[in-house]
Chains A and B, each alone.
Chain A
Amino acid sequence: MDILLQQIINGLTTGSVYAVVALGYTMVYGVIQLINFAHGEVVMIGAMVAFSIITSLAGSGLPPLVIVLAGVLAAIPACMTMGYLLERVAYRPLRHAPRLAPLITAIGMSIVLQHLALLAWGRNPLAFPQIIDNRVFGIGGAAISSVQIAIILLSLTMMAGLSWFVYRTRFGIAIRATAENVHVAGLMGVNADRVIAVTFIIGAGLGAVAGVMYGSYYGIAHYTMGFSLGLKAFSAAVLGGIGNIAGAMVGGILLGLVEALGTGYVGEFTDLCHWPIAHGWLSAQCADGGNFVLFGSNYQDVFAFLMLILVLVFRPSGLLGERVSERA
């Protein structure tokens, strides 16, 4: 089996999910300079809602694809409503408060949503019912499943759709104008409240689909899943340059790749038996094809944050971000 190709395929899959979630962070940051830390929880609730629907319909005899679609179509409006309410209830009243206030509120909302999910769905993970025949195709010594193909294609479609909306429609022009200067956009007749609300709603809708994709890839959904997924997607957004839509896409996919390749190779590279220091008890340990691995694949989560730290040190504005000074 070709480990390199396999890890690239796996990385593209998780990376495209990160990218879609990262769009939610970056769009909101773009218009109101707020890190919406509750976004990961919105994604989680999308997965939970969809899984509940899919589980309850699993025995109904409907075609599997229809069942999954029903789950997704229920999750999207649920998350959109939640995104709208978040903005309306938690952030809008603090629009003119010092920037730390809405940030703390966002963390608070994240905790509130997590615990609401705990109350609603309990502390046990929901399992994705095995209703879809997940076929696996071999390409060049690696394997790609139909779920992976679906995730990658769906993510790319959503990213293309969002780019079109933001760069090619009138409402998209209003969003970008608001992101650049909310006061001048107001002078031109752009309703900032509406633009901000729509930004939250779109981000949440994308997040809903991302949640379902992520959950179905790993086969489970859990009330804490939004935390690490959200944090990684946020890292991806910063990596690409927060506020930059193309940056979020690039950052997400890059992060997925780095994570997958890191996880795939970290064991091999940190196996002391491959290093030219084998002597004494280590030689005994390594004899007969044994190994002495310092860091195993359980260090998966380290790579995302290692990369975040490196970017913050060497290019604080992100890969595609501009070097901007603080706006007046």
Chain B
Amino acid sequence: MNTVLLEASGIGKRFGGVQALKDVSLTIKSGEIYGLIGPNGAGKTTLFNVFTGLYPRDCGEVQFAGAALDLASPHAVAAAGIARTFQNIRLFANMTALENVMVGRHVRTRAGVFSAILRTRAERTEEAAIRRRAEELLHYVGIADRADDLARQLSYGDQRRLEIARALATDPKLLALDEPAAGMNATETTALRSLIEGLRRDGLTVLLIEHDVKLVMGLCDRVAVLDYGEKIAEDVPEAVRANPKVIEAYLGASAA
């Protein structure tokens, strides 16, 4: 089987009196699509925010690509190779689609003030490379024709795609998608599904939080279920679907 890309052990996070995450451990293998599901308030997004350095964790360790992951700042996490999208889309609304993706290249490049003003040859070459890469990524997610439109002018589905393109621009090893299908209609969800399958084909590892259980079950190699901040199951989709604890968490005790 594939090598382990991310290994989290004993992650805990408390907000005041609420234990949002309790001793959560999980392993994500290279090249797989790993689903994270759970009822509302189960701690999915909190776990995401811990993995991407937005929230400090109270305890636990994360190993990523064979080294301890520095969770001190979002920038360090991005540099290590984890990129994410947001449940509530957070694009740079007044910048063009292309510019949004170009910002993503900042993790892998260094933009200097003086080189920008002086237009050194190295600067021009690098900027052209960044622009080309950004165009490729827009093409990859299927919105190349909207490159010069402002992000806020894009349709909802295209904004989701743009956010994925921007995340891909950071050259991630792990792409974390926070409810990418939220608010999408059936056609958009189908298109999103083939986009994510394409990502897997191209060797990317994907961590997927999703409410749409059908999408998760159809897409993921393995699925973990969170309930009240605890992991109650982690297995292949069929096994998770049959797990009584999962059924109880979703439908209540009487249904189990």
Contacts and interface: CB of A to CB of B under 8 A. Distances in A.
A198 B113 contact: yes
B112 A177 contact: no
Interface in A163-194: 165, 169-174, 176-177, 180-181, 183-191
Nearest to A187: B74
A170 B113 CA distance: 9
B102 A170 contact: yes
B116 A187 contact: no
Given A165-B117, A176-B92, A187 B99 contact: no
B112 to A, nearest CB: 7
A176 to B, nearest CB: 6
Contacts of A176: 92, 94-95, 99
Interface in B171-229: none
Contacts of B52: 187
B75 A165 contact: no
B232 interface: no
A170 B130 contact: yes
Contacts of A169: 111, 116-117, 127
User: Which of A170, A187, A189: most chain B Cβ within 10 A?
Assistant: A187
Interface string B122-134: 0100010010000
B108 interface: yes
A219 B78 CA distance: 54
Contact of A189 (B54, B79, B113, B116): B79
With most chain B CB atoms within 10 A of its CB, the pick from A169, A174, A188, A190 is A188
B103 A186 contact: no
Contacts of B108: 189
A252 B116 CA distance: 27
Interface string A134-174: 00000000000000000000000000000001000111111
Interface in B70-95: 73-75, 77-79, 83-84, 86, 90, 92-95
Given A165-B116, A174-B111, A181-B90, A188 B166 contact: yes
A177 B77 CA distance: 19
B117 A189 contact: no
A188 B166 CA distance: 8
Contacts of A188: 78, 103-104, 106-107, 166, 169-170
A198 B102 CA distance: 20
Given A165-B116, A174-B106, A186 B73 contact: yes
A238 to B, nearest CB: 19
Contact of B102 (A165, A173, A180, A187): A173
Contact of B103 (A177, A183, A191, A198): A177
Given A173-B99, A173-B102, A177-B95, A187 B111 contact: no
Interface of A: 165, 169-174, 176-177, 180-181, 183-191, 198
24 contacts: A165-B117, A169-B117, A170-B109, A170-B111, A170-B127, A171-B111, A172-B116, A173-B102, A174-B106, A176-B92, A176-B94, A176-B99, A180-B92, A180-B93, A181-B92, A184-B92, A187-B52, A187-B75, A187-B78, A188-B106, A188-B169, A189-B79, A189-B107, A190-B103
Which 4 pairs between the two chains have the least Cβ-Cβ distance?
Answer: A189-B107, A189-B106, A169-B116, A170-B111
Given A180-B93, A188-B104, 16 more contacts: A170-B106, A170-B127, A170-B130, A172-B116, A174-B106, A180-B94, A180-B95, A181-B92, A187-B77, A187-B83, A188-B103, A188-B170, A189-B75, A189-B78, A190-B106, A198-B113
